[in-house]
Each structure stands twice: as C-alpha cells, then as structure tokens.
Amino acid sequence: MKIKKALITAAGPSQRELPLQTLIDKDRKKRTVLEILVNEIQSAGIEEIGIVVQKADVNRFEEVIEASSISGVQFIPQSEKKGYGHALLSGAEFINNQPFLHLVGDHLYVNRSGDNVTKQLVEMAEKQNCSISTVQPTRENAIGNYGTIKAERIQGDTNIFQIKKVKEKPTPTYAEQNLMVSGLRAGYYLCFYGMHVFTPVLLELLEKRAKEFPDEKLGLSESLNDLAQKSKYLAIEQNNIRYDIGLDYGLLKAQLALSLSGQDRDYLMSELLQFFVEKDLKNKGVS
C-alpha cells in the first residue's frame, strides 16, 4: 500500500491550545508545535494533511498555517465533542478509504539519530502492508496516561510486535495481569507513542461502534482492540523520545530536547551549567 495522506487530531479539550504554542526548533527558528508536526509529515513525503479541530478554532489554526506559508493542509471541524474516535471519523471523507498516517496534536518527537521518525514508520507500514503503531517501553507509574498493548515479538525482529490486546490508560494491577510483554524489563509496558498508520478498516470499526452506541463518547482504544482481533496489526518499538506537551513541564521538556538536538546544543549546555552553578552557590550562601 502507498500512504499519501495524514490526519492530525487537535480537537480534544486538552489539545486545543497546545498545537499553537511556540517553540524554537532545531534550526533556531520560531515555530508552533503545529508547524513542527506538519513539517515532520511533509518531510516524510506526505503532502495531503487533514487537521481535525473544534469549529471555534478553525480560524486560529488557519492563521498559523497561512502565516507559515505551508500548503497542502485542510482543516476538518469536529461537529460534536464526542471523543477521540469521533475525531478520527470526522476525517473519513478526507481520508477517502485510503491508508493514512495519524499523529496527535499534543505530542512532539525527537529522534536521537536525527532521522525522520515519521518517514521510518511510513516506510515500515508500506513494507508490511498493514496498520502499525509506534510504541515505547513505559514505566508502570506512567501507563495511566497512555494506551497500552499486549503483544508478541515477531520472530527474527527485535523491535516489531504483533498486537494482541489494547487497553486505554490501564492501572498497574490490570497491566500486570493482562499486558505483560516478554522481554521487557520488569515494571515496563509497551505504550502508544502517539504516531500510527491505519488502514481504512479502523474507520469501519469506529463507524460500527458509533452506530452501536450512538449516545456514548467514541473512544479509540476499543476499536484498536477490535482491529487487533480482525486483521494484521503491528507495533514497532521506538527508542526515540516522545514528549507529551500536555503533561506537567511537557512543553519545557520538549523545548530543551529540540534545542539540545540542534545547532545551539553547546550554547544551551553552557547556559544550563552556568544556571545550576549559580543556583548551587546561592544555596550555599556564596555571593
């Protein structure tokens, strides 16, 4: 299969402002989180990008894209606040029954090697011809923030897994009983990295669930669990760094990571060292 489209979700209550926050990127340019995500996607060779936002936010998001002279972006208003799965379904007409890349609008990704994380995922999905999600080993005290999977390692591959079960924000007790993955360190589980490639089968499953439970919010993990039972659905372990900028200090951590992976690394390291030296001297009462 060939992946030509991408869908970013930015309509959740906690996501609305975060994609519009400004950071200094690796090249010392001021960009919004949204611009950084769009550039990442376009660098992977995908030119058609849909961004799901709340109706009231369309103008603000359009202003950011227009000011940055980015093309190929279409905004998709989410008509109702009915959950993550509903946000993806809002993009069904844009996706037009094709496989698509999906990123969330409140995560940033920093690759230690400097390679394009998105491009790696797209190439893997095209090679495997199926849905595939990035995952990352995560400590049990943090899994309550993420979708978590039970999976079996594919023989002959050290970082590719067949997904068997998906659970949204499990408790450590549930995870220990149901989501253990052979080969991971004790107390670690595989959690979604916020970056996926999905086949149209997922949208079919979401639509089916929406019809079955019309009065309920439509989550995503339940349909991902259905996807794992009905078709080939893989996970690829990423050792790059994911920054959920909606968490405490998440935006600060993302900014530091971008700066330390870019051309200002030495300057920033020097400034941070000076800051901590001065703070330590102050604490010791040295003027």
**What pTM did the predictor assign?**
0.87
What 3-state DSSP class applies to 216? Answer: coil
Task: Tell me the average pLDDT across 250-270.
Answer: 79
128 CB burial (10 A radius; 0-12, 13-18, 19+): middle
Residue 19 has pLDDT above 80, yes or no: yes
- Cα–Cα distance list, 279 to 75, 121, 265 (Å): 46, 42, 21
Judged against a pLDDT cut of 70, whether residue 285 lies above it is answered with no
Instruction: Note the pLDDT of residue 266.
Output: 79
Closest of 213, 206, 218, 204 to residue 80, by C-alpha: 218
Residue 121 has pLDDT above 70, yes or no: yes
Mean pLDDT of 9-18: 83
pLDDT at 17: 84
The CATH T-level fold of domain 5-283 is Spore Coat Polysaccharide Biosynthesis Protein SpsA; Chain A (3.90.550)
Classify 69 in phi/psi space as left (phi over 0), alpha (psi -120 to 50) or beta: left
Among the ranges given (63-72, 165-174, 176-185), the one the predictor scored with the smallest mean pLDDT: 63-72
Map tokens 């450590």 to a residue: 172
Q: What is the mean pLDDT of residues 60-84?
A: 90
- The continuous run of DSSP H or E covering 196 comes out as strand 188-198
Domain residues of the chain, as ranges? 5-283
